[in-house]
Structure 1
């Protein structure tokens, strides 16, 4: 009976299948990709690091650290730093990361160069490997030369890839590899230079986890670190964990929409089958038999949807490496694992049955007398099974959310958020029905009264369609508004008072000459910021070395190990706001120096106004006290500081300077950079216009990924919408036939249907948009802490598009009525 009845209702049942296929496809595809990503990270962790483990330090290792390094026997060594380079061939200049390597690094993976022999011979021949994209930009070929500081080297080849680099990490400062023996001759490593020393080890026999637990704490004391390839694997896994969580949530929303589609479709489908169920019971069918007939149907739908969704997922996951290639440091090798495939099939059956049980319970209470009654409503089931089913659905949502997120609080918050949104949408639809019923325009034209009656009379579609339309609109509009907020945080104001070029690492004796170079290029120096390098010696009287050994400390580790670059000035800047204490502009007295610290520094150092901090400034201990705490907007593309001293204290300390200016176009920037590199090779220049372009490009890619994944939710919502409207097709046909039999013209029937679906589409979309605006305002205020200006695009595009879609689907229901006679339509519908 289940099979026979399904064949007669195959069109409607296929819409049920479509309600879940996309949700299953999204979940399974993402699970497959997540497993592949995790397996690839584990398999390629050595190639990603290039060694079994490494020791790195931001300063030349002291005697104690060097003894530890020597005892382990490093197999390769590197020093790297950011600097400007020049191409003598055409005068081009660029900020790059210079990597001076000695030894056979990498031990795993390989340096990909063109020609291939360049990676093997560059150290012996004394050449440089230059980023391939950089060479294309400046029209440079192997055999040309590159000037690194005071040294000019031949370019041995184009560097395509090296272990540890990603497209994003190399976009601002492309890598240039040279033999280590030339580093001293470049004269680029000077006081204040930002540099990193790395020692690489090839060790297949040692227990790396034991080595990390034993050696790393000893190195921490001297501000060095030991990183193993297994730690790299864990760190990369955590790095992409949030991406996976986001993708899983989007897929789960698509799945949830499919569940709603099943519940609503089955509800209308079962209502149409009540008379058939009553006939079966008249012929002797038991409650159990009539219930199982439709339960088997729904389980079959779930099985078919799960299989189709799983098959679609296998093809869909092939697109993920392409979508995320700019965010991954390696190519992902895809393979099919059985677990997500089984999950898709089981999930399809489970969610279909679970979300269909509530309407299916109606079949249990159908009386044989129902076949004789005009009213087609079944007796409502008791409250107890309804409550049990609702509890099971909530537990299913929570369990699945927890399985995806691996966090109880997040899973609970997500389930509560879903219930709140559905409750609001359901409450809005109920209020609309009550409001229309109470304030019904009895004297209005018949073609207006009839669609308004359809909003609240029995078998109405108001609740189902407003929830489906509203949720889909809410999702896409929230994503759109959030994208606007994120992009607004990165916008640079194009004004001559807002610097967009920064010159770094200027030695004190070079400041006047560099300023003259700016003036010769008709550029005004906006800021001249002194930087003084220092480390913390003690916090509230406790030495840093003591805190480093204290496993119960509350002070964050980075505070103890960090080399701070501080400045001094007499006023706050635009990105700062005083939270507590008093700002001290100048200090010329004796005793402890009042300083200002940022809010995050205060939190991680467990420091408050009045606490004492002692800094080691190039060997000189300087006692300070916290005079004020500032809130700093770190999202602004300008120099912000954790620690700021008052004027009159650090002027004579060893320091270097940063100059900022505004450049109007690329030519002016290129001319200035060329002049600075020729005269001052140690000075680094960052063109913030280029940085902003890179950030905007990255955000565009992130936004594209978000919209790509949101597409599944929206498309599933549209299919649910189509299914919800189409499942009432036969009910609407009978009503339209009755109207036509009573003398209504095609034009009137068309107008009645169009107005009903216009009201439903408009109310659902508008409710979803308003909820999205409220949610975006809350995100802007509490998460992004940015002003929110709603875009008009969702109101101009999303709103009319969804309304037109609803009207179009609704009108397609009554086409048979308009084209055929009432008797033909009734026979066809029967």
Structure 2
């Protein structure tokens, strides 16, 4: 019976099936790609690091670290990494780069991909440089040209295409240049205070990396060094990309939920038409169970077919993801078949179809044989307890699935509440709108206008479902635009001449006057001259950091114990800072301990409050301090911010370096200034913030494209739900339209009625979606990003009219059979 009835209603059930295919495709594609990504990271973890494990530090290995390295059999290679300026002999160009001075056979896994290929193995012997391939293209460089790093000139042996340890995004800010390590000291770039990383690489396939990490890492922590294994690196990288995958999974899940709304809507109308047939079957002796299973098997079958098609589409779709996301990945992703994603797609197709169809299906259980004789029988009261049970089951399933995706109870609950709130608001406004139209019906309007409004609250009108589908899709797209805009606004510099756009790092104390005199004659202002001193925490509240590291019961964040802080001193707060506790101490003379100001995140992670003491090791000298104030810092502002600030009168004579900033009005002035600074002060690094902002905007554009791509599934699913609802509602209103034509209504009048009805639905659904996204984006800006929110006009000028026209086009296209055929022909066609 399920098969026979399904064949007779094939076209209508196809739309029901279509409403779940895209949702399944979205979930399967993201699930499959995430699993492939995780497997690739695991398989390529050694190639990502280039070794089995490494020991790194911000200073050359001291005696104790050397002993630990020797006890492990000695390092097989070493490297020093730091940011610097590179000067190219061709056109006197300069570039902010990451210098990598290598000694030994690094990498031991993976490869240095260079052009020509042999340059990877000969650059150390030839005492030359491998320059990032993008930089080579940017400046028109060829092997045989030269690059100057500090005071040392290197011949360019080849272009560097890929190398372990250089990710796509970091390489965009500071492209890598690899040179032999032995020239680093002579280059004059390893000045005091420069941010330098020394890495010692080990190749040992027999080592138990977990046990080694547990034993050696605490010993290295005490010496301000660290051990990193390739497995730990891959786990961190996996967690980073898993967060992105989880977010995209939620977007895909919303598309699936939207499809399920379409399922419930389609099945509701479909089953309502079948209630009389169910009553006939019961008159002939069919049991409740039999009549219920006839339609349950239909729905489950459609869900299975939809799941199979959606899974296939999802597996094909994931093939495009590496092309979209490759720039964010430090390796090439090999796509394989994910059996887990296939199983999830098939099970979701069946389970969610049945779950969301249960509510209307339950009505078949309570239909009595007397329904054949009665014009109408209300089964709602008898089925209400079962309906409530189904609703609870749906909420529980959504929560459990969200928890499976996010692995966090709080986030899963927040997601469910957010979805429930959005659906409730959209549904509530739709019902309120229908009641208002009914109560304040404009009787003076023309016949076509009145009839279009009547259609919004006629029986089986589907107004609520259509507004829900349109509103959710619009909400996703609009939130994307609003969020992207205020994220870009946070990163965008003001065009004021007093806003720094050129930052000079690692300026030594004896150089600051000369650097300032190089800038001033060009008519450029010195906006900042910030002294920076490096130090580490020695004690927290009279407990040494070594003691705290060994305390297995402690909850203090370990980064505080191991971090080398770069601090400054000044007598006032900056624009990006706000005092949240204590009093600001501008100056100090002989006061001991020294009053300092710390950021909120350091106070929280170090578990200190006002009045607690901290002892710092200032490059060998111990200094007692007390927390006098706690600051809230806007880290998103393009200026130098510090976790720890000392008052004036304490650190002026400590070894220090400086950061200077200025404002160059155009690219030509900036390039000219950088060239002169690199020639005069090779150790000084110059960062052009305009280039960084272009990179940030490019990254945000790509991320927003990915999110738009996923939101596209919600929009398309909404359109399919819309088509399905319109098609299903057409069967309810076909006689009405035919009667209107029989009574003399012209095709133009029916067309106008249909157009106005869907115009109302499009404007109302997309308008509510945009207003909800305004509220949601405002909350995101305030609570998550702590920034001002200025709405974009794109959703109002593009999304709202675009979605409205789309709804209108779909509504009119589904009315063609009524408009283009004689009434009798339509009735015969629909009665088959």
**1:70 corresponding residue in structure 2:** 70
Partner secondary structure for residue 96 of structure 2? strand
- CA 756–369 in structure 1, closer or farther in 2 if over 3 Å, else same: farther
Q: Deviation digits for residues 658-692 of structure 1, max 9, x if unmatched? A: 11000112221111111111111111111111111
Q: Does 1:6 pair with 2:6?
A: yes
**2:31 corresponding residue in structure 1:** 31
Task: Give the alignment's TM-score, normalised by structure 2.
Answer: 0.97
**1:239 corresponding residue in structure 2:** 240
**1:451 corresponding residue in structure 2:** 452
**1:762 corresponding residue in structure 2:** 763
Contact 2:596 2:628 in 1 (8 A): yes
Contact 1:534 1:616 in 2 (8 A): yes
Distance between the aligned counterparts of 1:290 and 1:178, measured in 2?
78
**1:321 corresponding residue in structure 2:** 322
Contact 2:304 2:350 in 1 (8 A): yes
Contact 1:79 1:198 in 2 (8 A): yes
Contact 2:598 2:644 in 1 (8 A): yes
Distance between the aligned counterparts of 2:391 and 2:591, measured in 1?
71
Distance between the aligned counterparts of 2:534 and 2:293, measured in 1?
77
Shift in Å, 1:372: 4.6
**2:15 corresponding residue in structure 1:** 15
**2:359 corresponding residue in structure 1:** 358
**2:412 corresponding residue in structure 1:** 411
Contact 2:569 2:646 in 1 (8 A): yes
**1:437 corresponding residue in structure 2:** 438
Alignment of 1:693-712 (within 5 A): 693-712=694-713
**1:100 corresponding residue in structure 2:** 101
**2:153 corresponding residue in structure 1:** 152
Shift in Å, 1:426: 2.0
Shift in Å, 1:371: 4.0
Distance between the aligned counterparts of 1:799 and 1:513, measured in 2?
58
More moved, 374-383 vs 89-98: 374-383
Alignment of 1:415-426 (within 5 A): 415-426=416-427
**2:658 corresponding residue in structure 1:** 657
Shift in Å, 1:624: 2.1
**1:638 corresponding residue in structure 2:** 639
Distance between the aligned counterparts of 1:147 and 1:444, measured in 2?
80
Partner secondary structure for residue 564 of structure 1? strand
Contact 1:726 1:809 in 2 (8 A): no
Contact 2:34 2:242 in 1 (8 A): no
Distance between the aligned counterparts of 2:567 and 2:273, measured in 1?
75
Distance between the aligned counterparts of 1:751 and 1:145, measured in 2?
74
Contact 1:362 1:378 in 2 (8 A): yes
**1:812 corresponding residue in structure 2:** 813
Alignment of 1:163-242 (within 5 A): 163-242=164-243
Partner secondary structure for residue 630 of structure 1? strand
Distance between the aligned counterparts of 1:448 and 1:133, measured in 2?
62
- CA 378–734 in structure 1, closer or farther in 2 if over 3 Å, else same: farther
Contact 2:366 2:383 in 1 (8 A): no
Shift in Å, 1:457: 3.1
Q: Does 1:387 pair with 2:388?
A: yes
Contact 2:470 2:715 in 1 (8 A): no
Contact 1:75 1:200 in 2 (8 A): yes
Q: Deviation digits for residues 614-662 of structure 1, max 9, x if unmatched? A: 2222222222222221111111121111111222222222111111000
Partner secondary structure for residue 681 of structure 1? coil
**1:544 corresponding residue in structure 2:** 545
**2:751 corresponding residue in structure 1:** 750
Distance between the aligned counterparts of 2:132 and 2:172, measured in 1?
10
Partner secondary structure for residue 727 of structure 1? helix
Q: Deviation digits for residues 48-104 of structure 1, max 9, x if unmatched? A: 110010000111222111110121111111111111121123211111111111111
Partner secondary structure for residue 580 of structure 1? strand
Partner secondary structure for residue 433 of structure 1? helix
More moved, 414-423 vs 14-23: 414-423
Shift in Å, 1:764: 1.9
**1:299 corresponding residue in structure 2:** 300
**1:610 corresponding residue in structure 2:** 611
Contact 2:587 2:647 in 1 (8 A): yes
- CA 8–126 in structure 1, closer or farther in 2 if over 3 Å, else same: same
Alignment of 1:524-543 (within 5 A): 524-543=525-544
Distance between the aligned counterparts of 1:376 and 1:457, measured in 2?
18
Q: Which segments of 5 or more consecutive residues in structure 2 lack a partner in the other structure?
A: none
Contact 2:363 2:383 in 1 (8 A): no
Contact 2:473 2:711 in 1 (8 A): no
Contact 2:571 2:586 in 1 (8 A): yes
Distance between the aligned counterparts of 1:553 and 1:66, measured in 2?
29
Partner secondary structure for residue 168 of structure 2? coil
Shift in Å, 1:379: 6.0
- CA 220–440 in structure 1, closer or farther in 2 if over 3 Å, else same: same
Distance between the aligned counterparts of 1:81 and 1:459, measured in 2?
68
Distance between the aligned counterparts of 1:370 and 1:813, measured in 2?
32
**2:48 corresponding residue in structure 1:** 48
Q: Does 1:721 pair with 2:701?
A: no
Alignment of 1:404-803 (within 5 A): 404-803=405-804
More moved, 535-544 vs 699-708: 535-544
Shift in Å, 1:381: 4.2
Distance between the aligned counterparts of 2:272 and 2:463, measured in 1?
16
Distance between the aligned counterparts of 2:380 and 2:633, measured in 1?
64
- CA 590–786 in structure 1, closer or farther in 2 if over 3 Å, else same: closer
Contact 1:362 1:380 in 2 (8 A): no
Distance between the aligned counterparts of 2:77 and 2:655, measured in 1?
33
Distance between the aligned counterparts of 2:38 and 2:606, measured in 1?
35
Distance between the aligned counterparts of 2:815 and 2:136, measured in 1?
65
Contact 1:780 1:787 in 2 (8 A): yes
Distance between the aligned counterparts of 1:513 and 1:617, measured in 2?
27
- CA 346–545 in structure 1, closer or farther in 2 if over 3 Å, else same: closer
More moved, 297-306 vs 588-597: 588-597
Shift in Å, 1:380: 5.5
Partner secondary structure for residue 158 of structure 1? strand
Contact 2:362 2:383 in 1 (8 A): no
Partner secondary structure for residue 577 of structure 1? strand
More moved, 191-200 vs 338-347: 338-347
Shift in Å, 1:715: 1.0
Shift in Å, 1:258: 1.1
Distance between the aligned counterparts of 2:94 and 2:307, measured in 1?
57
Contact 2:280 2:369 in 1 (8 A): yes
Shift in Å, 1:378: 5.8
Distance between the aligned counterparts of 1:408 and 1:658, measured in 2?
44
**1:88 corresponding residue in structure 2:** 89
Partner secondary structure for residue 90 of structure 1? helix
Shift in Å, 1:120: 0.6
Contact 2:355 2:394 in 1 (8 A): yes
Alignment of 1:94-133 (within 5 A): 94-133=95-134
Task: Give the alignment's TM-score, normalised by structure 1.
Answer: 0.97
Shift in Å, 1:406: 1.9
Contact 2:461 2:729 in 1 (8 A): no
Shift in Å, 1:550: 2.5
Distance between the aligned counterparts of 1:741 and 1:590, measured in 2?
98
Q: Deviation digits for residues 318-356 of structure 1, max 9, x if unmatched? A: 011111101111111111132322321222111111111
Shift in Å, 1:427: 1.8
Partner secondary structure for residue 21 of structure 1? helix
Contact 2:82 2:195 in 1 (8 A): yes
Distance between the aligned counterparts of 2:278 and 2:738, measured in 1?
25
More moved, 420-429 vs 361-370: 361-370
Q: How well do the aligned residues superpose, as a CA RMSD in angstroms?
A: 1.8
